Amino acid sequence: MSARRFWVFIEQEHGEVHPVSWELLGIARSLASQVAQEAEAANEEVKVEGILLGHQVRSIAEKAIGYGADRVYLMDDAVLADYRNCPYYVDIVALATKYQPEVMLIGATTLGRDLAGAVATALGTGLTADCTKLEMGEVKGAKQKLLLATRPAFGGNIMATIVCRTHRPQMSSVRPRVFSAPIYDPQAKGEIIEESVEITEAEARACILEFLHAKEYAVDIEYSNVIVAGGRGLGGPTGFDLLKQLADALGGVVGASRPCVDAGWIGYAHQVGQTGKTVRPKVYVAAGISGALQHKVGMQNADFIIAINTDPQAPIFEVADVGIVGDLFEVIPVMIDEIHARKETRV
C-alpha cells in the first residue's frame, strides 16, 4: 500500500530540541487527518513522520513519537553533531528522494531557514516561507487535495495563499509559536528507522571553529508566558527599566516594537513582529505601542492582551482584551504595586 507522507524536520542543536518541531508535528497530524477520507478511498495510508539528524539523539526520536510521529527517520552520526548546511541538506535530500514525502514542514528559525531553501532547491520544488495557516484543500484541476499555505504579504495587509501544484514535496516553513504544540502522549507507538548518512566529514565543507557569546543571546521571549512589551511611547531607553520591573513582578520578559530596537533602546532579541519574533504568551502587555500591522502579526495570538496607550484611537486597542487609555508612566507603577500586593495576600 502506498503512503502519503507528511514530514516534519525535528530541529535540535546540541541535543536540545527546538519546540517548533513539536508544534509542526501537531499541524502535520491535522493535515494528515484532512486527507484521511480521500486516502482511504484510494487505498492509501497517511503517515506523519519526523526526520531527525544529529549525533546521539535517539531519545529525541522517541520523544517525537510521543508528540505524534508515526515514524521517525533517524540519521545519527558524528558528522551531524553540529548543524552545518551541507551535510544536513544533502542527507535530507537523499532521504526525501528515497521516501517521496508529499509535504515537508520546517521551522522558520535561523537554522530552519538556512536549511529549507537549500533542500527545496536541490529537490527542485516550491517552498512557502513563514506560513501562518496550513490546510489541505481541493484545488481545481488537482487529483488530490493540495497544501494551501497562507502567509501574510505586504506587511500583513493581505493574506496570500500559495500552492505548489506539481512539484513534490510541498514545502513550508512556519515560525515558532504560530501553532500550539500537541499534548505529549508517553504511550504513543511509532517506529524509528535508522538511515545511513551520505556525507563524510571530508565532504562537509564547513568547519565550525568556535561558538561565541552563547549566554548573551539567551532571552527567550518566544516561549515566555508573560511578555511586557514597550514601544516608542516609552520615550527612551530608561523606559525599559520600568517595564523590566513589571516583567519581574509578573515573572515575564520584556518585548519591544521595532523602532525601539532600531533606536538601540533594547536588543533585537526582544523585537516582536513581522521582522522580529512571533509570540503566543498567556499575557501580553503592550505599553506605548500604537499597534501597527507589522507589530500585531507577531502578537495577536496571545491569550490575553492588555494595551496601555494615551491615544484612545490607537489601533492596538483593536486586538486588546483590555485597553487602558492612560499614561503608561502613571499606570505601570500602580500595576507593579498591585501585583506585589496580590501576590502577598495569595501566599
Partner 1 sequence: MFHALVAIKQVPDTTNIRIDPETGNLVREGVPAIMNPYDAHALAAAVEWKRKLDGRVTVISMGPPSFTTTIREAVELGADRGILVSDRKFAGADTLATSYVLAEVIKAIHKEDPIDLCFFGKQAIDGDTAQVGPGVAVRLDFPIVTYAIGLRTIDLDNETVIVERKTEQWTEVVETSLPALLTCEKEIAEIPFASLPDLIKALRYDPEIWTLEGPIAFDANHIGVRGSATIVYQMGTPPLPEAGEKINTRETSVVEAIDFTLRKAEEAGVLGAMLGSDR
Q: How far is residue 113's CA from residue 94's CA, in Å, rounded to a whole number? A: 19
Any contact of residue 212 with partner 1 (CB under 8 A)? yes
Instruction: Tell me which of 141, 196, 211, 264 binds partner 1, using CB under 8 A.
Output: 211
Which CB sits closer to ligand FAD, 63 or 277?
277
Residue 184 corresponds to which cell in the numbers above? 505529549
Any contact of residue 306 with partner 1 (CB under 8 A)? yes
Give contact residues for ligand FAD (rule: CB under 6 A). 155, 231-233, 257-259, 271-276, 288-290, 292, 294-295, 298, 308-311, 314, 327-329
Which CB sits closer to ligand FAD, 103 or 243?
243
Any contact of residue 202 with partner 1 (CB under 8 A)? no
Return the SS3 of 29: helix
Considering only residues 120 through 139, tell me which ones interact with partner 1, judged by CB under 8 A. 120-122, 124-130, 139
Instruction: Tell me which of 163, 181, 188, 197 binds partner 1, using CB under 8 A.
Output: 163
Which CB sits closer to partner 1, 189 or 215?
215
**Inter-residue long-range contacts of 54-58, CB under 8 Å, 24+ positions, other chains counted:** 54/12, 54/15, 54/80, 54/81, 55/80, 55/81, 56/15, 57/12, 57/15, 58/192
Give the H or E element holding residue 321. none
- Asked if the bond preceding 333 is cis, omega within 30° of 0, the reply is no
Minimum Å distance from CB 323 to partner 1?
4
The partner in contact with residue 96, picked from partner 1, ligand FAD, none with C-beta cut-offs of 5 to 8 angstroms by kind, is none
Q: Is residue 88 within 8 Å of residue 52, measured between CB atoms?
A: no
Q: Is residue 34 within 8 Å of residue 135, measured between CB atoms?
A: yes
Considering only residues 236 through 295, tell me which ones interact with partner 1, judged by CB under 8 A. 250-251, 274-275, 282-283, 293
The partner in contact with residue 61, picked from partner 1, ligand FAD, none with C-beta cut-offs of 5 to 8 angstroms by kind, is none
The partner in contact with residue 311, picked from ligand FAD, partner 1, none with C-beta cut-offs of 5 to 8 angstroms by kind, is ligand FAD
The partner in contact with residue 205, picked from partner 1, ligand FAD, none with C-beta cut-offs of 5 to 8 angstroms by kind, is partner 1
Q: Is residue 32 within 8 Å of residue 48, measured between CB atoms?
A: yes
Return the SS3 of 230: strand
Minimum Å distance from CB 223 to ligand FAD?
18
Radius of gyration in angstroms for the set of CA atoms belonging to the chain, rounded to a whole number: 22
C-alpha pair distances (Å), 174 with each of 113, 128, 242: 10, 9, 33
Return the SS3 of 216: coil
Return the SS3 of 143: coil
β-pairing, 103-107 vs 16-17, is unpaired
Any contact of residue 143 with partner 1 (CB under 8 A)? no
The partner in contact with residue 110, picked from partner 1, ligand FAD, none with C-beta cut-offs of 5 to 8 angstroms by kind, is partner 1
The partner in contact with residue 257, picked from ligand FAD, partner 1, none with C-beta cut-offs of 5 to 8 angstroms by kind, is ligand FAD
Phi (first) and psi of residue 46, to 5 degrees: -120, 130
The partner in contact with residue 267, picked from ligand FAD, partner 1, none with C-beta cut-offs of 5 to 8 angstroms by kind, is none
Q: Taking Cα atoms as reference points, which of 53, 50, 81 lies closest to residue 64?
A: 50
Which CB sits closer to ligand FAD, 160 or 183?
160
Instruction: Tell me which of 67, 73, 89, 179 binds partner 1, using CB under 8 A.
Output: 89
Which CB sits closer to partner 1, 42 or 322?
322
Minimum Å distance from CB 340 to partner 1?
10
Within 8 A by CB and 6+ apart from 205, the residues are 84, 86
Minimum Å distance from CB 275 to partner 1?
7
